[in-house]
Amino acid sequence: MDLLFQFLSNTGYYLADYRNVIMIVIGSVFLYLGTAKKYEPLLLVPIGFGILVGNIPFFKGFGLGIYENNSVLHYLYFGVTTGLYPSIVFLGLGAMTDFSSLLARPSLMLLGAAAQMGIFFTLLGALALGFLPREAASIAIIGGADGPTSIFLTAKLAPHLIGPIAIAAYSYMALIPVIQPPIMRLLTSRQERLIRMPELRDVSKKERIIFPAVAVILCCFLAPASIPLLGTFFFGNFLKECGVADRLAQTARTSIIDTATILLGLTVGASTQGDVFLTPKSVAIFVLGAVAFSIATASGVIFAKIMNLFLKEKINPLLGAAGVSAVPGSAREVHLVGQSEDPENFLLMHAMACNSSGVIGSAICAGILWSFMIVL
Amino acid sequence: MYGFTAISTHNGWAMAIAGALIVFAGLVVLSSIISQLHKVLLFWEKRHPVFKNNHKMPENDKPEGQEDTPVSPLPKEFPTDLDEIARLYQPLIDEIGETFYLSDLYEIARKNDFPHPHITFTAFRESEILVPCGDGVFSWNPPTENEDNDNG
């Protein structure tokens, strides 16, 4: 009988507390959004399931939990805490990205830079709310709307915040269709939304091959701390464009990125154990994340309007919203908002130019913030 | 510590301003460079033949009796169909690269004795075989229907 009671007292049903239940509900919502609503399913499904796995109560000391040494989850989590998975995800992203539209209209890169302003506004906000500089920098990077970059920087600066920051970053990426359109409509007039963009010129293969080599040198010389992200990103892109390593490029954009995404999502989700995750800090991170993402979107749109003051050939200011690095979600949203005003207005390719420059911009920001924190 | 005091104490203002300026400067430099990339490539493709290919000899060094052969031998009766003419121009395009200045195409067409290049170019532009890429640069968009006939 004692054995039975002992067994029962070690079950999850006995050990569960309200925080685990709350997190399991949150995980279920993620699974629902990913599966039924198809909001970023490749991210929300692994994270959602990871939240369920990470919040099953267990008897401490068995080596089961993600924060316990020698547990399987702990070993898998190693890729997160070292910044390995984000680096591998960037390799795959590079092998998927087509920079043709950016090469055809390089001025759109400025919108990718403008959208990074959300990061620096949020840095100030987080410091003002009492976060330490390393924590504030990790929270600020959510404004880049780039999950792997957020995880990478947080792993380096404030590893104890990886869970809430990763969940916040991916949540806002998934909620792009909800967050961005109202901001875009609020900041633009109908006339502005109707502006059509000229057709992009053809970009030669040589340009596409040379670009990643030039870009990796320029960006990484500027912010060497971004080498783990931009180095693999542009390497992946070079594999894609050089035409002699198609097999490697194919593997990078399929098996490798898929494996890294699965492990990243599952372990980040599992890192949200209720007792560690549900703290006032997490709530503040979620609020600041929303502010960061909104400011990033608004900065891009406003900067596009400022550019129009000087340009003879006006650009559609909606494109500024695609300067955040949520690829391709925000580009798709810009295109849809443009088409809701004029069904024959095709903004997707131009928006992808802003979007891909946003990826580069947010990785540079991560490198810059990391460098600042080393100096501090 | 909260508010502006916390920002000032942790050097927040400087970090935010310097960070924003650095990322902006970086992307401005990158965009400026890539905006010139196609022009640099065009210049590189038009460099002197002696630098272009080590295996090629300069014209003056060619053995006596070996004359320049035209890139594209022309038929005795020049076709009137634009697609046919475009096919005759294809070897010239292969010679000068994917993107080119119209003046270069004109020069090579004249060297190869193509009749009335000006009129032909106008017709090519109207039928979008010659596609403007901006800054006086054009790309070649050959008609595709004839390929099927060739293969068939």
What DSSP letter does each residue of A147-176 carry, written as one string?
HHHHHHHHHHH-GGGHHHHHHHHHHHHHTH
Q: What angle do CA A122, A289, A261 make, to 5 degrees?
A: 125
Q: Which pLDDT score is estimated for B72?
A: 56
User: Which residue(s) pair with B101 in the sheet?
Assistant: B137
Of A107, A127, A202, the CB nearest to B131: A202
Rounded percentage of chain B residues whose pLDDT exceeds 90? 20
A 107-126 residues with CB < 8 A to B:
107, 109-110, 112-114, 116-117, 119-121, 123-124
Q: Is the pLDDT of residue B3 over 80?
A: yes
Query: What pLDDT, on a 0 to 100 scale, did the predictor assign at position B38?
Result: 86
* pLDDT greater at residue A50 or residue A273: A50
pLDDT at A324 over 70: yes
Q: Is the peptide bond before A328 cis (omega within 30 degrees of 0)?
A: yes
Checking if the pLDDT of B51 tops 60, the result is no
Q: What are phi and psi of B134, to 5 degrees?
A: 95, 160
CA distance A95 to B29: 24
User: Is A206 in Cβ contact with B23 (below 8 Å)?
Assistant: no
Smallest Cβ distance to A120: which of B16, B33, B131? B16
Contacts of A376 in chain B (CB under 8 A): 10-11
Mean pLDDT of chain B: 77
Rounded to a whole number, what is the distance in Å from the CA of A107 to chain B's nearest CA? Answer: 6
The model's pTM? 0.77
A224 touches B at CB < 8 Å: no
CB contact under 8 A, A202 and B6: no
| Count of residues in chain A | 376
* Interface check A331 vs B, CB under 8 A: no
pLDDT band at B76 (very low <50, low <70, confident <90, very high): low
Kindly list the residues from chain A whose CB atom is less than 8 angstroms away from the CB atom of residue B131.
202
A109, A124, A204: residue with CB nearest B38: A204
Copy the structure tokens of residue A351: 């928006």
pLDDT band at residue A106 using 50, 70 and 90 as cut-offs: very high
- Name the residue facing A215 among B16, B30, B32 (closest C-beta): B30
Whether pLDDT at A365 is above 70: yes
Residue B148 has a pLDDT of 44
Continuous H helices in A58-189:
72-81, 84-96, 100-104, 109-114, 117-128, 133-140, 147-157, 162-174, 176-187
> Cβ A124–B13 below 8 Å, yes or no?
yes
